[in-house]
């Protein structure tokens, strides 16, 4: 490629990025939420007759941002060029629907990605060392954007600060999402509080491209009807075999936090609802969900998948909202159904405000709590393994729910704002709760 063509490609890339960011600002949304909303809208219209090339052209920047959010950074320009070539190909003009067009493009990406990914993993993960320019004395812990993750991140942070005074311990609250496993693999993070089904899902996802992910996992792992320690430890052992030294899964923290489908108790009584399958009798369901549930293949898709529950919930009836606000939608009756976590304090109280619907088809996996660490960290600091292992079976569901409840009540008003940043006051409060917890357990 000539220097002139390279420059043109770079300018096109920058132009698309700025265009997407500008749209997000105009709509008063975070950049990530804007991307997801745009993808949902595109998905809703893919089977409707339209001028295909014009329609895909309008969403060019959305497809590009989808690639940026989910795929490897070094492949961005490659996929941008692939999409450009695809738009101008003869195959493009033969297709009749957006669904066919996008399916063909995804197939092309899948083939190219596997070739590129296999080569990258061979070079970076199977060699003796992964090059990481960060200070060897800094240990970075990352977590997702909800209270339980903040607590686990804070507990790990405080524990290491007390027992690893020779290192700088850096917590990154609100860092990444489901793909934090990948962030540990490539060295952006050293430690991340993860969940077992998340690990299985990520391992079999081929970086989110495999459409049969739920089916593939189900062939290999049958979930016990009742969560138990034996299943947790067996799954963690399997995960360490699956990841083959790319990350180290360390211990079972002592609780599971699964996805649950929840309705108000009075709604359940009026509609005679006991199981998720019973929702098929309900018309025009309005659903509220947190971003992870709506985005990941093992979440919302299962509710509509004919091989799952086949509820047929329309995307225009779906509200995406922060996890802390999901149950408020239900309380205000803005929706009839939401997804919630096993550890949510509101669904563990005794006032019977909410009802958890039974997963009668065992479609949702079991998310046992654990910790993952990079092998590079454990090579540099072997004692980190034994320190992190101190948390094994130290946190039960009642304890984590109580800490969540304490923090959410204290910062109820703060959780209503749209900012993803935690205030200094909230971080200090969470870390104080973590400190008190560790003192009670005799770990510091």
For residue 313, pLDDT beyond 80: yes
The gap from C-alpha 325 to its chain's centroid, in whole angstroms, comes to: 17
Using the 3D structure, point to which of 61, 94, 124 is the last residue of a domain: 124
Rounded to 5°, the CA angle 246-251-255 comes to 120
| Same domain as 415, residue 269 | no
**Contact 259/291 with Cβ under 8 angstroms?**
no
**Contact 36/294 with Cβ under 8 angstroms?**
yes
Using the 3D structure, point to which of 78, 98, 124 is the last residue of a domain: 124
Q: Encoding tokens for residue 389?
A: 């292992």
For 115-126, what is each residue's pLDDT tens digit? 554 554 455 444
Which residues in 216-265 belong to E strands, given as ranges? Answer: 248-256, 259-264
For 135-158, what is each residue's pLDDT tens digit? 678 999 999 989 999 999 999 999
Q: How far apart are the first and last CA of the chain?
A: 59
- Is residue 87, in this structure, part of any structural domain at all? yes
| Same domain as 247, residue 167 | yes
- Is residue 132, in this structure, part of any structural domain at all? no
Domain of residue 269, residue span: 259-357
Half-sphere exposure of 30 (CA within 13 A, CB side): 12
Task: Identify the bridge partners of residue 356 per DSSP, sorted by sequence position.
Answer: 262
pLDDT, the chain, mean: 76
- Is residue 130, in this structure, part of any structural domain at all? no
Higher pLDDT, 114 or 29: 29
Helix (H) or strand (E) holding 329: helix 323-331
| Same domain as 397, residue 374 | yes
| Same domain as 353, residue 290 | yes
> CB neighbours (10 Å) of residue 350?
5
Contacts of 198 (CB under 8 A, 6+ apart): 178, 181, 367
For 193-228, what is each residue's pLDDT tens digit? 999 988 888 776 543 333 444 455 555 555 666 788
| Same domain as 232, residue 88 | no
- DSSP assigned state of 255: E
- Is residue 379, in this structure, part of any structural domain at all? yes
**Three-class DSSP labels, 123-178:** HHCCCCCCCCCCCCCEEEEECCCCHHHHHHHHHHHHHHHHHCCCCEEEEECCCCCC
| Same domain as 373, residue 242 | yes
Helix (H, G, I), strand (E, B) or coil at 165: coil
Phi and psi angles of residue 312, each rounded to the nearest 5 degrees, phi first = 65, 40
Using the 3D structure, point to which of 324, 357, 390 is the last residue of a domain: 357
**Per mean pLDDT, which range of 97-106, 236-245, 394-403 is the poorest?**
97-106
> CB neighbours (10 Å) of residue 404?
23
For residue 70, pLDDT beyond 80: no
Strands of the sheet with 318-320, listed across from one edge: 318-320, 287-289, 337-341, 259-264, 354-357
Q: Encoding tokens for residue 151?
A: 């607590």
Measuring CA to CA, which residue among 122, 151, 264, 143 is closest to residue 193? 143
Indicate the number of domains in the chain. 3
């Amino acid at each position: 490629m000539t220097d002139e063509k390279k420059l043109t490609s770079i300018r096109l890339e920058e132009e698309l990025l700025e265009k997407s960011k500008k749209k997000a600002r105009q709509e008063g949304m975070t950049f990530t939420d804007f991307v997801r909303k745009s993808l949902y809208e595109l998905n809703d219209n893919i089977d409707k007759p339209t001028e295909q090339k014009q329609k895909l052209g309008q969403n060019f920047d959305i497809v590009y941002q989808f690639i940026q959010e989910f795929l490897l950074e070094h492949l961005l320009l490659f996929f941008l060029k692939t999409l450009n070539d695809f738009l101008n190909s003869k195959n493009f003009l033969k297709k009749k629907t957006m669904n066919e067009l996008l399916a063909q493009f995804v197939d092309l990406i899948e083939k190219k990605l596997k070739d590129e990914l296999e080569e990258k993993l061979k070079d970076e993960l199977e060699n003796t060392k992964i090059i990481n320019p960060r200070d060897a004395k800094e240990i970075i812990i990352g977590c997702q954007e909800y209270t339980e993750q903040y607590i686990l991140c804070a507990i790990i942070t405080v524990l290491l600060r007390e027992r690893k005074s020779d290192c700088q311990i850096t917590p990154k609250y609100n860092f990444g999402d489901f793909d934090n496993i990948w962030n540990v693999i490539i060295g952006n993070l050293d430690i991340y509080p993860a969940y077992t089904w998340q690990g299985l899902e990520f391992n079999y996802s081929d970086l989110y491209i495999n459409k049969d992910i739920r089916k593939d996992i189900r062939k290999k792992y049958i979930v016990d009807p009742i969560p138990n320690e034996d299943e947790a430890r067996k799954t963690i052992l399997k995960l360490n075999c699956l990841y083959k030294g790319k990350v180290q899964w360390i211990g079972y923290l002592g609780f599971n936090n699964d996805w649950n489908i929840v309705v108000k108790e009075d709604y359940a009584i009026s509609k005679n609802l006991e199981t998720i399958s019973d929702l098929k009798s309900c018309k025009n369901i309005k659903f509220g969900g947190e971003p992870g549930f709506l985005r990941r293949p093992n979440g919302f898709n299962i509710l509509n998948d004919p091989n799952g529950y086949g509820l047929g919930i329309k995307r225009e009836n779906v509200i995406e909202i922060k996890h802390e606000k999901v149950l408020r939608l239900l309380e205000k009756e803005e929706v009839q159904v939401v997804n919630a976590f096993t550890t949510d304090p509101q669904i563990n109280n005794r006032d019977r405000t909410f009802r958890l619907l039974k997963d009668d088809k065992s479609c949702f996996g079991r998310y046992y709590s654990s910790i993952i660490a990079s092998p590079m960290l454990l090579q540099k600091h072997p004692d980190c393994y034994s320190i992190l292992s101190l948390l094994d079976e130290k946190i039960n569901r009642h304890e984590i729910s109580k800490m969540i409840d304490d923090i959410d009540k204290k910062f109820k008003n703060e959780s209503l704002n749209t900012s993803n940043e935690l205030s200094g006051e909230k971080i200090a409060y969470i870390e104080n709760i973590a400190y008190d917890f560790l003192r009670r357990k005799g770990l510091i």
